[in-house]
A and B are shown apart, each in its own frame.
Chain A
Amino acid sequence: MHALALALLLLALSPFLWLVLMSFKTNAEIFRFPPRLLFDATLANYAALWTSEFRNSFANSLVVSVVSTALSLLIGVPAAYALSRWTTRAGGTVTLWILASRMAPPIAFTIPYFLVYRHLELLDTWTGLIIIYLTFNLSLVIWMMRPFYDQLPRSLEEAAWIDGATMWQGFHRIILPLSGPGLAATAILCFLFAWNDFFFALILTRTEAMTAPVAVVNFMNYEGWEWGRIAAGGTMIMLPVLVFSFVVRRYLVHGLTGGALKG
Chain B
Amino acid sequence: MRAPSRRAVLRGSVGLSALASGVLAAPHVNAQGGKPYAGTTINGSCFQTTYFEYLKNYFPQFEEKTGIKVNFNMQAFPVYNQRTDLELSTKGSALDVINCTFIYSGRWIGAGWMTNLDPFTKDAKYTPASWDPEDFAGGPQSAMKNAKGETFGYTWEAGAMILGAARYDLIEKAGLGLPKTFDELTKVCDAIHNKDNVAAFTADKLHHWNWIPYLMGSGGAVFKDPPDNLTPTLNTPPAASSAEWYANLLIKYGPDGILSYSDDQSMRSQMSGRANIRTQAITWMVPLAKHDESVVKKTVRYGLMPEGPKGNFPGSNSHGLGIPAGSKKKEAAWEFIKWALSRETIAMVVKNHGYPSVCRMSVIKSPEFKEVLTLNGQDVAALFLEVLQLGGKTGYMKYRTVPVYPQVGDKINKAMERIATKQQAAPEAMKQAQAEAIQDLQKAGIKVDT
Assess whether B376 is interfacial by the CB under 8 Å rule: no
Q: In the complex, which of the residues B76, B90, B268 has the most CB atoms of chain A within 10 Å of its own CB atom?
A: B76
Which residues of the partner chain B approach A261 to less than 8 Å between Cβ atoms?
Answer: none
Scan residues 14-69 of chain A and give those whose CB is less than 8 A from a CB of chain B.
27-28, 31-33
CB distance from B113 to the nearest CB of A (A): 15
Q: Report yes or no: A203 in contact with B76, Cβ–Cβ below 8 A.
A: no
Given A28-B293, A114-B86, A203-B83, the answer on whether A221 and B76 have CB atoms closer than 8 Å is yes
Q: In the complex, which of the residues A27, A31, A115, A227 has the most CB atoms of chain B within 10 Å of its own CB atom?
A: A31
Q: Report yes or no: A218 in contact with B267, Cβ–Cβ below 8 A.
A: no
Q: Report yes or no: A202 in contact with B50, Cβ–Cβ below 8 A.
A: no
Which residues of the partner chain A approach B299 to less than 8 Å between Cβ atoms?
Answer: none
Assess whether A156 is interfacial by the CB under 8 Å rule: no
Closest to A118 in B: B92
Which residues of the partner chain B approach A218 to less than 8 Å between Cβ atoms?
Answer: 48, 74-76, 79
Which residues of the partner chain B approach A31 to less than 8 Å between Cβ atoms?
Answer: 268-269, 271-272, 274
Assess whether A207 is interfacial by the CB under 8 Å rule: yes
Assess whether A172 is interfacial by the CB under 8 Å rule: no
Which residues of the partner chain A approach B73 to less than 8 Å between Cβ atoms?
Answer: 206-207
Which residues of the partner chain A approach B49 to less than 8 Å between Cβ atoms?
Answer: 221-223
Please report the total number of B residues contacting A with Cβ < 8 Å: 30
Given A207-B73, A222-B47, the answer on whether A217 and B79 have CB atoms closer than 8 Å is yes
Which residues of the partner chain B approach A207 to less than 8 Å between Cβ atoms?
Answer: 73
- Mark B289-328 against chain A: 1 for CB-CB distance below 8 A, else 0: 0000100000000000000000000000000000000000
Assess whether B287 is interfacial by the CB under 8 Å rule: yes
Assess whether B182 is interfacial by the CB under 8 Å rule: no
Assess whether A224 is interfacial by the CB under 8 Å rule: yes
From A202, A203, A223, A225, contact of B283 by CB (8 A): A223
From B47, B75, B264, contact of A224 by CB (8 A): B264
Q: Report yes or no: A221 in contact with B79, Cβ–Cβ below 8 A.
A: no
CB distance from A48 to the nearest CB of B (A): 15
Q: Report yes or no: A115 in contact with B76, Cβ–Cβ below 8 A.
A: no
Which residues of the partner chain A approach B90 to less than 8 Å between Cβ atoms?
Answer: 111, 114-115, 118
Bound-state CA distance A227–B268 (Å) is: 11
Q: Report yes or no: B284 in contact with A223, Cβ–Cβ below 8 A.
A: yes
Bound-state CA distance A223–B83 (Å) is: 20
Q: Report yes or no: A225 in contact with B262, Cβ–Cβ below 8 A.
A: yes
- Mark B47-91 against chain A: 1 for CB-CB distance below 8 A, else 0: 111100000000000000000000001111111001100100010
Which residues of the partner chain B approach A32 to less than 8 Å between Cβ atoms?
Answer: 272
Q: Report yes or no: A222 in contact with B77, Cβ–Cβ below 8 A.
A: yes
- Chain A-chain B contacts (Cβ-Cβ < 8 Å), number: 67
CB distance from B89 to the nearest CB of A (A): 8
Which residues of the partner chain A approach B83 to less than 8 Å between Cβ atoms?
Answer: 202-203, 206
Which residues of the partner chain A approach B269 to less than 8 Å between Cβ atoms?
Answer: 31
- Mark B37-51 against chain A: 1 for CB-CB distance below 8 A, else 0: 000000000011110
Which residues of the partner chain A approach B74 to less than 8 Å between Cβ atoms?
Answer: 218
Given A111-B86, A225-B264, the answer on whether A28 and B77 have CB atoms closer than 8 Å is no
Which residues of the partner chain A approach B284 to less than 8 Å between Cβ atoms?
Answer: 223
Which residues of the partner chain B approach A114 to less than 8 Å between Cβ atoms?
Answer: 86, 90
Assess whether A251 is interfacial by the CB under 8 Å rule: no
Which residues of the partner chain B approach A222 to less than 8 Å between Cβ atoms?
Answer: 47-49, 77, 283
Q: Report yes or no: B79 in contact with A214, Cβ–Cβ below 8 A.
A: yes
Bound-state CA distance A17–B287 (Å) is: 30
Closest to B93 in A: A118
Q: Report yes or no: B82 in contact with A203, Cβ–Cβ below 8 A.
A: yes
Residues of A within 8 A of B (CB): 27-28, 31-33, 110-111, 114-115, 118, 123, 202-203, 206-207, 214, 217-225, 227
- CB pairs A–B below 8 angstroms (17 shown): A27-B268, A27-B293, A28-B272, A31-B268, A31-B269, A114-B86, A202-B79, A202-B83, A203-B82, A217-B76, A218-B74, A221-B49, A221-B77, A222-B77, A222-B283, A223-B287, A224-B267
Beyond A220-B78, A224-B264, A225-B264, list 18 extra A-B contacts (CB 8 Å). A27-B293, A28-B293, A111-B86, A115-B90, A123-B94, A202-B79, A202-B82, A203-B86, A214-B79, A217-B79, A218-B74, A220-B76, A220-B264, A221-B49, A221-B76, A223-B283, A223-B284, A224-B263
The 3 A-B pairs with the shortest beta carbon distances in the complex, nearest first, are A225-B264, A221-B48, A222-B49
